[in-house]
Chains A and B, each alone.
Chain A
Amino acid sequence: MLLFNVFCGNQAASFSAVFPVASHLAMHIPDGFLSLPVSLATWLIAIALIAICLNKVQGDYQERAVPLMGVCAAFIFAAQMINFPIPGGTSGHLLGGTLAGVLLGPWAGSLVMTVVFIVQAVLFQDGGITVLGANIFNMGLVGTFGGYFVYETIRKALGWNSWRGIGTGTAIASWVSVFVASLLCAVQLALSGTIALPIALSAMASWHVMIGIGEAVITTIAIGYVYRTRPDLLYKPPRSTTVAKTPVPR
Chain B
Amino acid sequence: MLLHIGGFRLDTESDRNTPWHQLIPRTRVLCAFLLVFAIALTPNGQWLTWAVYGLAVAAIAVISQVRLLDLIKRVAVEFLFVGLVLLGTLFRSGGEVVWQWGILRITTEGLTVLGSVSLKMLLCLTMLNILVLTTSISNLLHALKELRVPKLLVAILFSMHRYIQVLVDEINCMKKAAQSRNLFAQARGKRLVIGNIMGSLFIRTLERGEQIHQAMLARGYTGLPPVLDPPLSQARDRRALAIVLILVLSGQIFHWQLRSTFN
Give the interface of A toward B (CB within 8 A).
2, 8, 13-22, 24-25, 28, 30-36, 39, 50-51, 54, 57-58, 63-75, 77-82, 84-85, 93-94, 99, 103, 111, 115-116, 118-120, 122-126, 128-131, 193-196, 199-200, 203, 214, 217-226, 229-230, 233, 250
Query: Judging by beta carbons under 8 Å apart, are A225 and B158 in contact?
Result: no
Q: How many residues of B contact A (CB 8 A)?
A: 88
Least CB distance, B216 to chain A, in whole angstroms = 6
Which A residues are CB-close (under 8 A) to B158? 70
Instruction: Give which listed residue, B2, B128, B155, B167, contacts A66 with CB less than 8 A.
Output: B155
Instruction: Give which listed residue, B39, B91, B203, contacts A226 with CB less than 8 A.
Output: B203
Least CB distance, B199 to chain A, in whole angstroms = 3
Instruction: Give which listed residue, A65, A125, A199, contacts B128 with CB less than 8 A.
Output: A125
CA distance A63 to B156 in the complex (A): 11
Least CB distance, B52 to chain A, in whole angstroms = 16
Query: Judging by beta carbons under 8 Å apart, are A71 and B150 in contact?
Result: no
Query: Judging by beta carbons under 8 Å apart, are B160 and A129 in contact?
Result: no
Query: Judging by beta carbons under 8 Å apart, are B113 and A194 in contact?
Result: yes
Which B residues are CB-close (under 8 A) to A71? 159-160, 163, 167, 205-206, 208-209, 212
Query: Judging by beta carbons under 8 Å apart, are A73 and B160 in contact?
Result: yes
- A-B CB proximity, top 6 nearest: A221-B195, A70-B159, A225-B199, A32-B120, A13-B93, A31-B124
Query: Judging by beta carbons under 8 Å apart, are A67 and B201 in contact?
Result: no
Of A30, A50, A80, A93, most B-chain CB atoms within 10 Å:
A30
Give the interface of B toward A (CB within 8 A).
1-2, 4-5, 10, 33, 36-37, 39-41, 43-44, 74, 78, 81-82, 84-85, 87-93, 102-104, 113, 116-121, 124-125, 128-129, 132, 137, 140, 144, 150, 152-153, 155-164, 166-168, 170-171, 175, 187, 190-192, 194-203, 205-210, 212-213, 216-217, 223
Summarize A's interface: helix, strand, loop or mixed.
Answer: helix
CA distance A248 to B90 in the complex (A): 57
Least CB distance, B163 to chain A, in whole angstroms = 4
Least CB distance, B3 to chain A, in whole angstroms = 9
Least CB distance, B26 to chain A, in whole angstroms = 14
Least CB distance, B169 to chain A, in whole angstroms = 9
Which A residues are CB-close (under 8 A) to B166? 74
Chain B residue nearest to A9 in the complex (CB): B103
Chain A residue nearest to B113 in the complex (CB): A194
Which A residues are CB-close (under 8 A) to B117? 32-33, 194
Which A residues are CB-close (under 8 A) to B210? 64, 68, 250
Least CB distance, B227 to chain A, in whole angstroms = 17
CA distance A193 to B81 in the complex (A): 21
Instruction: Give which listed residue, A30, A65, A103, A193, contacts B156 with CB less than 8 A.
Output: A65
Question: Given A72-B209, A222-B202, A223-B199, are A125 and B125 neighbors across the interface (CB < 8 Å)?
Answer: yes
